[in-house]
Amino acid sequence: MSLIWNEKYECMPRDELQAIQEERLRETVNRVFYEVPFYRRALQERGLGPDSVKSLDGLSKLPFTTKDDLRDNYPYGLFSVPLSEIVRVHASSGTTGKPVVDGYTRHDLGVWAEVMARSLTCCGATKNSVVHIAYGYGLFTGGLGAHGGAELIGASVIPASGGHTKRQIMLMKDFGSTILACTPSYAMHLAEAMAEAGLSKSDLKLKGGLFGAEPWSQNMRSQLEARLGIVALDVYGLTEIIGPGVAVECPEKQGLHVWEDHFLPEVIDPETGKQLPDGSYGELVVTTLTKQGMPLIRYRTRDITTIISELCPCGRTHRKIARFVGRTDDMLVIRGVNVFPSQIEEVLLRIAHTEPQYQIIVERRGQLDALEVQVEVSEQFFSDEIRMLETLERQIQRQIEDVLGINVRVKLVEPKTIERSEGKAKRVIDRRQL
Amino acid sequence: MPIKQISVFLENKCGRLSSVTRVIGDQGINIRAFSIADTTDFGVLRLIVNRPDETLKTLQEAGFTVSMTDVLAVEIPDHPGGLASVLELMQDAGVNIEYMYAFSAKVSKDALAVFRVENSQVAERLIAQKGIRVLGGEEVYNL
């Protein structure tokens, strides 16, 4: 039997868990009805009052929340407490210029630390562990999210943040790090850099890795486990809901347990919005059950998965979601950063004053994702002076980098080189073998 | 008198140059001079042809990004220091040269050079004052 952080809750009988969920759902609906004007309107439009949901069966009556709703209520419109109660704000990229914001009360940070403590424990973290966190620290939820969980466990936390790969390897070696938390592609990059430096897994003391913030494959898992000598597990989360720690794989590696006492999962048909039975693939929808800062009702994640309700041999009773098979929108995750084609489109519109044809090509070069934006040169911005074209290329590159916060390569291409299907250009080519 | 130059945007990939030249060759258009400026990813092909307006239209219809630019065609005295003397004229007058390229023609015993400059009127006047010939459009197109 592997380690479990909070056996009482993680292994709670289903009926008890369900009773807790129902009570918390009632509280959440009540809270948003009185405290969030957006939700009060949405509930009233459906003829629902503050106490209209009595059980989990009533969930399907509730309205959905979408990323557009977050944008329309940017930045604080969906908070259910005054700003004086908010102790932390995180953000990630939205579909256009404005980011997606989440605000946390002190209680919320406690919930987050709890679910991340459970998640880190899955990959073997204890108070004796040295947890090396190479997720970026900052507005991005990865770094501070993992940090809170590791501290709650009582592990020795190394807040390394991202970048400076050689130095990270030195720190992991010298500090005797046993648990690594970062994006899976950065973990691969670290493994690669270790090999280049002539180091092998026996030079390090790593035992477990908790990787997330981007999709990765079973093949990458095998490689990471072999090269770093670890158990590598997938952690899922999104800024809107709380950050990493919404769901995590247990050592059985047969799906990610959703921490159901805090996050209520459903899978729906993305076209009709109808709930689908466990086992069917559809869009994951999450309702927060304990969040105070920004509670969300039926948030549409756009991630496609299915709910696995069979009991897990690990002993945890929380239902699992399968590894994601795609998205219902065009969001890309590149080096842990959410990228929407519309963000790149905005930059091009600003520079060219017209909508140029463009294509985004994502490749994995070595172990890291590389983003290339190809822009067709139309006569409006064609100059026969190379200098001007190069300036244009650099200007596009800099502005996209400013918006996305990651490096891109911009390439000017001839008109009509970008593949069009039925007159509509294919905006994204993802060549990564995930 | 500036002459008309056709510029074409080309990606650095196999077959692009041959396809431009084929398209205009099929229209019976003759190339008088050309040069290519390139970077890692792309290049700009610059052409002097016998029928510039028709070339512009033909290439646009074939889907290329094309522009027409005014350049000066100058007869460069064919002796050591010939080019230097022309360039010094422009330098003294503070006229910036964006780019230039040379070509030869059967009709002239001197070398010919195409200049793209910041201020072609000033450059043309300076050159002419020194007795150096600037060729007119018809002269170049019909070489």
How do residues A279-329 score in pLDDT, each as one tens digit?
999 999 999 999 999 999 999 999 999 999 999 999 999 999 998 888 888
Mean pLDDT of A417-433: 72
Terminal Cα-to-Cα distance of chain B (whole angstroms): 16
d(C-alpha A61, C-alpha A287), whole Å: 13
Q: Do B9 and A411 touch (CB under 8 A)?
A: no
* Span A146-153, average pLDDT: 98
Residue of chain A with shortest Cα separation from B97: A385
Contact A379 B65 (CB under 8 A): yes
CA distance A414 to A382: 10
* CATH code of the region A333-430: 3.30.300.30
Residue with tokens 């430096």: A197
Contact across the interface for B11 and A413, Cβ inside 8 Å: yes
Q: How far does the CA of residue B32 sit from the closest CA of chain A (Å)?
A: 18
Give the Cα separation of B81 and B85 in Å (integer): 6
Question: CB of B12 within 8 Å of any CB in chain A?
Answer: no
Q: How confident is the model at residue A356 (pLDDT cuts 50, 70, 90)?
A: confident
Handedness of CA A204, A207, A213, A217 (dihedral sign): positive
**Separation in Å, CA B31 to CA B22, B51, B103:** 11, 9, 11
Output the pLDDT for position B26: 95
What separation in angstroms does the CA of A238 have from each of A82, A336, A392, A433, B8? 23, 11, 35, 23, 47
- DSSP state, residue A275: B
Could you tell me if A382 lies within 8 Å of chain B, comparing CB atoms? yes
B-contacting residues in A 196-255 (Cβ below 8 Å): none
Give me the residue spans of the domains in chain B: 3-69, 71-141
Could you write out the DSSP letters of every residue in B117-141?
ES-HHHHHHHHHHTT--EE-HHHHH
- Residue A378 is predicted with a pLDDT of 83
**Displacement of CA A206 from its chain's centroid (Å):** 24
A87: tokens are: 């102790």
Q: pLDDT at position A369, please?
A: 87
User: Looking at residues A182-195, what average pLDDT do you find?
Assistant: 91
CATH class for the domain made up of B3-69: alpha beta
Domain coordinates in residue numbering, chain A: 7-329, 333-430
Q: How far apart are CA B124 and CA B139, in angstroms?
A: 16
pLDDT for B106 equals: 66
The candidate with the shortest Cα–Cα distance to A127, out of A155, A100, A101, is: A155
For helices A37-45 and A14-35, angle between their N-to-C axes, nearest 10 degrees? 100
pLDDT, tens digit, for every residue of A60-70? 999 999 999 99
Tell me the shortest Cα–Cα distance from A189 to chain B, in angstroms.
Answer: 27
Closest CA of chain B from A358, distance in Å: 15
Kindly state the average pLDDT of the residues A265-275.
Answer: 96
* Residue A63 backbone class (left: φ over 0; alpha: ψ -120 to 50; beta: rest): beta
B142 and A CB contact within 8 Å? no
Place of tokens 């406690």: A110
Task: Check: CB of residue B6 under 8 Å from CB of residue B36.
Answer: no
From the list B11, B37, B60, the residue facing A414 with the nearest CB is: B11
Given this chain, do its domains A7-329 and A333-430 carry the same CATH topology?
no
C-alpha span between A283 and A298 (Å, rounded): 11
Nearest-angstrom CA–CA distance, A315 and A415:
58
- How many whole angstroms separate alpha carbon A123 and alpha carbon A4? 10
Give per-10-residue mean pLDDT for chain B (143 aa).
Answer: 93 90 95 90 93 95 93 90 90 90 76 87 86 85 79
pLDDT at A289 (0 to 100): 98
Q: Report cis status (omega within 30 of 0) of the bond before A13.
A: no
Q: How far apart are CA A108 and CA A76, in angstroms?
A: 16
| Residue A342 DSSP symbol | H
pLDDT of residue A219: 81
Burial class (CB in 10 A: 0-12, 13-18, 19+), A255: buried
Q: Which of A137-151, A335-349, B43-57 has the lowest mean pLDDT?
A: A335-349
Q: What is the pLDDT of residue A421?
A: 55
Beta strands A156-158 and A130-133, pairing class: parallel
Average pLDDT over all residues of chain A: 92
- B chain contacts of residue A378, beta-carbon cutoff 8 Å: 65
CA distance B69 to chain A (A): 8
Average confidence (pLDDT) over A374-399? 89
Q: Which residue type is seen at A248? A: V
Residues A134, A180 contacting (CB under 8 angstroms) = yes
Query: What is A7-329's CATH superfamily?
Result: ANL, N-terminal domain (3.40.50.12780)
Q: Return the minimum-mean-pLDDT range out of A46-55, A257-266, A281-290, A344-353.
A: A344-353
**Residue A2: predicted pLDDT:** 72
> Regarding beta strands A409-413 and A368-376, do their DSSP bridges make them parallel or antiparallel, or are they unpaired?
parallel
For tokens 């807790």, name the residue.
A20
Residue B29 main-chain phi, psi, to 5 deg: -90, 135
Mean pLDDT, rounded, for A83-99: 87
d(CA B123, CA B109): 23
pLDDT of A1 strictly over 50 = no
Query: Residue B37: which of A386, A414, A416 has the nearest Cβ?
Result: A386
Q: In angstroms, what is the C-alpha Rg of chain B?
A: 16
**Under CATH, to which class is B71-141 assigned?**
alpha beta
Residue B134 near residue B83 (C-beta atoms within 8 A): no
* Bridge partners for A283 per DSSP: A268, A304
Percent of chain A residues past pLDDT 70, beyond the cut: 96
